[in-house]
């Protein structure tokens, strides 16, 4: 919690803060509004759409088939489409293959299903390193992919955006679609995490 342990903000962050301060001072912006909007798009609204897609695919085999055959159409079927999601391809993670998504050129990201990209997704180290040493990068995210699982890196671009369909965790048999959607995280749909049953690891500590 101590301020003294936090990194100094980046130049861009400082610039944004400065703009925010001016807008607040001129009473154009309500205090906290920017943080709320960013949080809404980055963590709440955006990835919740993708989570609904994943939960549906986990519980409806026919839907999953359509989703993998034509991501754009099947995602539209759930009501999600638009800017930065005009052409979608869904990559299914299996016990043998783990997919992870990047945009090596800039920060292409499927807005209609994931919202705004997290900051790390836009950084040069992630964009370059995940292609060269995906296992090492995933490990830094806390995800150690077993050696017998193949890691495939997909590079997004202007025309094409990817959504990872994570594996359904063991122990979720009989769960409702709504309950399943709750455990689908943003990072699991980028491929830098896997879905877990909450508290499944606890008790070991
Ligand atoms: Co891009």
DSSP H helical ranges for 60-175: 61-69, 71-77, 111-114, 119-122, 124-132, 134-140
The b-or-e profile of 85-96 (16+ CB within 10 A means b, else e) is beebbbbebeee
Q: What is the mean pLDDT of residues 137-142?
A: 98
If pLDDT is split at 50, 70 and 90, which confidence band does 205 have?
very low
- Asked about 10 being catalytic, the answer comes back as no
Q: What is the mean pLDDT of residues 5-14?
A: 67
Entry pTM:
0.79
Domains recognised in the chain with CATH numbers: 47-190 (3.90.330.10)
Interatomic CA distance for residues 159 and 16, integer angstroms: 29
Decide: 161 and 110 in contact? Cβ < 8 Å: yes
Helix (H, G, I), strand (E, B) or coil at 152: strand
Q: How far is the CA of 199 from the centre of ligand 1 (A)?
A: 36
Q: Is the pLDDT of residue 71 over 90?
A: yes
Q: Is the pLDDT of residue 10 over 80?
A: no
Main-chain phi, psi angles of 150, to 5 degrees: -80, 135
Interatomic CA distance for residues 73 and 50, integer angstroms: 14
Q: Is the pLDDT of residue 113 over 60?
A: yes
Q: Which of 2, 10, 21, 107 is catalytic?
A: 107
Ligand 1 (ion): which residues have CB within 5 A? 103, 105-106, 108
- Asked about 195 being catalytic, the answer comes back as no
Q: Which of 103, 156, 188, 195 is catalytic?
A: 103
Interatomic CA distance for residues 52 and 75, integer angstroms: 10
Residue 191 φ/ψ region, left for φ over 0, alpha for ψ in the -120 to 50 degree band, beta for the rest = left
Q: How far is the CA of 50 from the centre of ligand 1 (A)?
A: 19
Q: What is the pLDDT of residue 3?
A: 41
Interatomic CA distance for residues 20 and 15, integer angstroms: 9
Q: What is the mean pLDDT of the chain?
A: 89
If pLDDT is split at 50, 70 and 90, which confidence band does 201 have?
low
CB atoms within 10 A of CB 42: 17
Q: Which of 10, 21, 106, 176 is catalytic?
A: 106
198 vs 48, residue with greater confidence: 48
Q: Output the six-digit token pair for 104.
A: 């090596």
Interatomic CA distance for residues 142 and 136, integer angstroms: 10
Question: Which residues fall within 8 angstroms of residue 67, CB to CB, at 6 or more apart?
Answer: 53, 57, 74, 75, 90, 165
Q: How far is the CA of 25 from the centre of ligand 1 (A)?
A: 35
Burial environment of residue 195 by CB neighbours within 10 A (0 to 12, 13 to 18, 19 or more): buried
Q: Is the pLDDT of residue 74 over 90?
A: yes
- Asked about 108 being catalytic, the answer comes back as yes
Q: Which residue has the tokens 């959504």?
A: 163
């Amino acid at each position: 919690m101590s301020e003294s342990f936090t990194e100094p903000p980046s130049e861009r962050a400082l610039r944004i803060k400065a703009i925010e301060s001016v807008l607040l001072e001129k009473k154009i912006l309500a205090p906290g509004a920017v943080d709320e909007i960013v949080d809404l798009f980055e963590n709440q609204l955006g990835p919740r759409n993708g989570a609904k897609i994943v939960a549906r695919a986990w519980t409806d085999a026919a839907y999953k088939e359509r989703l993998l055959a034509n991501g754009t159409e099947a995602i539209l079927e759930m009501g999600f489409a638009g800017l930065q999601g005009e052409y979608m391809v869904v990559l299914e993670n299996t016990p043998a293959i783990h997919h992870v998504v990047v945009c090596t050129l800039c920060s292409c990201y499927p807005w209609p299903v994931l919202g705004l990209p997290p900051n790390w997704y836009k950084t040069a180290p992630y964009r370059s390193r995940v292609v060269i040493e995906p296992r090492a990068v995933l490990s830094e995210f806390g995800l150690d992919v077993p050696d017998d699982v193949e890691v495939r890196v997909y590079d997004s671009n202007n025309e094409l955006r990817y959504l990872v369909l994570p594996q359904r965790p063991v122990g979720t048999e009989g769960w409702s679609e709504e309950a399943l959607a709750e455990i689908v995280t943003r990072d699991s749909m980028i491929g830098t995490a896997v879905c877990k049953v909450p508290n499944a690891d606890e008790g070991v500590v």
